[in-house]
Amino acid sequence: MRSKFDRQLVQLNDMLQDMGAHIERAIAMVKQALLDSDVGIANKIIELEDDIDQKEKEIEALCLKLLLQQQPVAKDLRLVSAALKMITDMERIGDQATDISEIVVEGAIIPDSIKKEQFAQMADATIEMVSKSIAAFVEQDLQIAKYVIKRDDKVDDLFDDIKKSLIDLIHADSENGEQAISLLMIAKYFERIGDHAVNIAKWARFSITGRKKTGESKNSAS
Name the fold adopted by 2-209.
Methane Monooxygenase Hydroxylase; Chain G, domain 1 (1.20.58)
Categorise residue 67: left if φ over 0, alpha if ψ from -120 to 50, beta otherwise: alpha
pLDDT at 1: 56
Instruction: Give the H/E segment covering residue 112.
Output: none
Q: Report mean pLDDT in 10-residue bins for the chain, 222 residues.
A: 84 97 96 95 90 96 92 90 97 96 94 91 97 97 98 97 94 90 97 98 96 59 46
Q: Hey, where are the domains in the chain?
A: 2-209
Q: Which residue from 47, 135, 53 is spatially nearest to 87, judged by alpha carbons?
A: 53
Provide the b/e sequence for 40-60 (b: ≥16 CB within 10 Å): ebbeebbebbeebeebbeebe
pLDDT at 217: 47
pLDDT at 112: 86
pTM for the predicted model, two decimal places: 0.92
Q: How far apart are CA 86 and CA 133, in angstroms?
A: 10
